[in-house]
A and B are shown apart, each in its own frame.
Chain A
Amino acid sequence: DAGVTQSPTHLIKTRGQHVTLRCSPISGHKSVSWYQQVLGQGPQFIFQYYEKEERGRGNFPDRFSARQFPNYSSELNVNALLLGDSALYLCASSLAPEGAYEQYFGPGTRLTVT
């Protein structure tokens, strides 16, 4: 079975631009979470979606938004990019948002803002 897939793998953007990152969860998984991992740090939680509804939001500005589609895939949007948004963006899927279900991560999208 295919794992979590993310696109694109790498992206270079200029300050002020907008970016859309995409994620497809493991088949059967209905929950998708997004994390930002700045170089040298652990991932930081951005959003979690389940059944197309936002179930959790981390401490990120309103420039960050996301949505989940009927097929459970998800998009993360970042507006007005800043240099500090340069990071690896990880998507994770799980069967459900609660409980002891482990989250399976995709390979990430590496965003560079110049």
Chain B
Amino acid sequence: AQKITQTQPGMFVQEKEAVTLDCTYDTSDPSYGLFWYKQPSSGEMIFLIYQGSYDQQNATEGRYSLNFQKARKSANLVISASQLGDSAMYFCAMRVLDTGRRALTFGSGTRLQVQP
């Protein structure tokens, strides 16, 4: 079974500063994908970034980067130059990429608040 752990229920960051949201995962499968989603108060889950277990380089998407440390089973999200609009819940998720197990497994989330 897969498990995602997000140990930070809430985080504060000053506008324009960088912030790291922690995520550790547990799986015995060698082929998996790691995802980060943002959920504003409106409820919609917004896809941010993806990292495959065999990807050699850390994923980056604009201000988002994923610090992937496979040996430590961690996939931390780094948001650079925080903006007020970044205030939201952030969820780390994973999915095993072989056949038969297609569901995303989510962590409990981290609430990020960006302060002016």
Contacts and interface: CB of A to CB of B under 8 A. Distances in A.
Contacts, number: 63
A35 B93 CA distance: 13
Nearest to B42: A107
Contacts of B102: 33, 48, 55-56, 97-98
A103 B43 contact: no
B44 A105 contact: yes
Query: Which has the most chain B C-beta neighbours within 10 Å: A42, A99, A108?
Result: A42
B104 A103 contact: yes
Contacts of A106: 44
B35 A108 contact: no
Contact of B103 (A42, A45, A107): A45
Nearest to A110: B43
Contacts of A110: 43
Contacts of A90: 43, 45
A102 B35 contact: yes
Contacts of B101: 56
A87 to B, nearest CB: 11
A41 to B, nearest CB: 6
B103 A105 contact: no
Given A107-B43, A108-B44, A42 B109 contact: yes
Contact of B47 (A41, A44, A56, A104): A104
B76 interface: no
B43 A45 contact: no
Interface of A: 33, 35, 40-45, 48, 55-56, 58, 88, 90, 92, 97-100, 102-108, 110
Interface of B: 4, 33, 35, 37, 42-47, 50, 52, 91, 93, 97-99, 101-109
* Shortest Cβ-Cβ A-B pairs, 7 listed: A42-B106, A45-B103, A105-B45, A108-B43, A107-B44, A97-B102, A102-B47
